[in-house]
Structure 1
């Protein structure tokens, strides 16, 4: 179901656009993982570099034939930006796993570029708290550098910045995606969301994820557990068995596991 924000922002095409964003992210991620596999290296640079470029290219290709679309390449930028019905779509990876909430999303791991600062200054929502001045020195975000600001003069003043924040990694694939509007708070890329909402990924992201490994029954979602296992206190006390493995493990032919394996950290980062 579409929100009031989505309908007000994109009109009757909102569902089509939301689905196109999810599919474009899935394609970009699949290409990045293909690049990583082809490179045959344990370093994740191929994944990060490919994802950085392909996320913009996949969005541009997804909406190239839609009415009222402009594909803009600002001077000094390597990437094409999609402006759809006056809304500039800007995708960025905010996390590599689900340990980071989108509420705490940041643009990049370092200082935002002059172009990113200019995008927020010109097309982002009006800050909820105006910047204060102390002795003539302004606190908060500085004015973006002049070359970056000039690179955006080809975009109309009424353009609206719509952020697409997603979490993914080379192993697990596309984990989640959100879109909305936010203001850039400081030099480290912290955001203050004015509105954000999830983008459904069911179906669209299937091509961008590897098959999930079989899980022991104790780690399965509650809705997939057998009915008798979902109520701990119900039923008769089971008699001890020589083989303590669950019916699920025996049916799936899973080897016995004494303890859960530790997850390997993902060090991939876009731009590295």
Structure 2
């Protein structure tokens, strides 16, 4: 299906708008293929593996497709596991809006996290902001000041949303457009969301494991037992003069690094 290029896309991405449009369609097709492959490999009765693989690939595949474009930059939001791509003036944010065929014009952002608040500082302002007098009580608002890589975005950056619908069986639809974050996570579209062209199949799937490596047999297995292998090298730490009188034994292994992993601001 041939889809025309919306005027705002040329304004945001310049001459690279057509290739950005095509690349996003390819990226989402690869996302679906990877997620389905992971699901099939686990032979699971649930969709947990598909969901995790889809969530990861919805950010990594657009990065792979767009990273070599002139001027394209990978942007890492604060405490977010993945990078978002900035091409021209457009910061691209893909997300799943439905598991079934649904009207994208009535969609909502899945979760209003602090990350989402930060991203939408690069979007148009909503027409109506719900205040304390609307509810009768004053609810604390999430901070929205950009952090991390978002602080280095150039002035005039525009958030480009890429909502898509999919499930473990198929990729149903995908769109792109510009919207404000309205009440109750509803999107107020500043542009009409335009359907992305989705290729019928993966164009370039990349490197995958297609065969099991040759296993050791016969003579190659002769000296692979634990007792016959080479002795491991131990890292010893000498005791200081102050430790020796206190009978403190020497360390036989290095201390593990402190785990620096933190939770993401977005959900799967």
Q: 1:117 aligns to what? A: 117
Q: Does 1:197 align with 2:194?
A: yes
Change (3 A) 1:114 1:159: same
Look up the SS of the partner of 2:166 in the other structure: strand
Q: 2:95 aligns to what? A: 92
Give the gaps of 5 or more residues in structure 2: 204-265
**Aligned counterparts of 2:77 and 2:37: Cα–Cα separation in 1:** 28
Q: Kindly indicate whether the alpha-carbon contact (under 8 Å) linking 1:69 and 1:84 is maintained by their aligned counterparts in 2.
A: yes
Q: 1:27 aligns to what? A: 30
Q: Kindly indicate whether the alpha-carbon contact (under 8 Å) linking 2:91 and 2:160 is maintained by their aligned counterparts in 1.
A: yes
Change (3 A) 1:140 1:24: farther
Alignment of 1:1-272 (within 5 A): 1-98=4-101, 100-108=102-110, 111-120=111-120, 122-129=121-128, 134=133, 142-144=141-143, 149-151=146-148, 152-171=150-169, 173-186=170-183, 188-195=184-191, 196-201=193-198, 204-207=199-202
How many residue pairs were aligned?
A: 200
Please identify runs of 4+ aligned residues in structure 1 that moved more than 3 A: 129-135, 137-141
**Aligned counterparts of 1:101 and 1:197: Cα–Cα separation in 2:** 12
Look up the SS of the partner of 1:82 in the other structure: strand
**Aligned counterparts of 2:140 and 2:202: Cα–Cα separation in 1:** 39
TM-score (norm. length: structure 1): 0.67
Change (3 A) 1:139 1:160: farther
Give the gaps of 5 or more residues in structure 1: 209-269
**Aligned counterparts of 1:47 and 1:69: Cα–Cα separation in 2:** 29
Greater share of residues in strand: 1
* Aligned-pair Cα RMSD in Å: 2.5
1:43 shift after superposition? 0.3
**Aligned counterparts of 2:87 and 2:25: Cα–Cα separation in 1:** 15
Q: Kindly indicate whether the alpha-carbon contact (under 8 Å) linking 1:22 and 1:205 is maintained by their aligned counterparts in 2.
A: no
Look up the SS of the partner of 1:153 in the other structure: helix
Q: Kindly indicate whether the alpha-carbon contact (under 8 Å) linking 2:90 and 2:160 is maintained by their aligned counterparts in 1.
A: yes
1:132 shift after superposition? 5.1
Q: 2:246 aligns to what? A: none
**Aligned counterparts of 2:138 and 2:7: Cα–Cα separation in 1:** 34
Q: 1:259 aligns to what? A: none
Look up the SS of the partner of 1:183 in the other structure: strand
1:163-184 CA-partner distances (Å, limit 9, x unpaired)? 001111111x111110001111
TM-score (norm. length: structure 2): 0.68
Look up the SS of the partner of 1:36 in the other structure: helix
Look up the SS of the partner of 1:206 in the other structure: coil
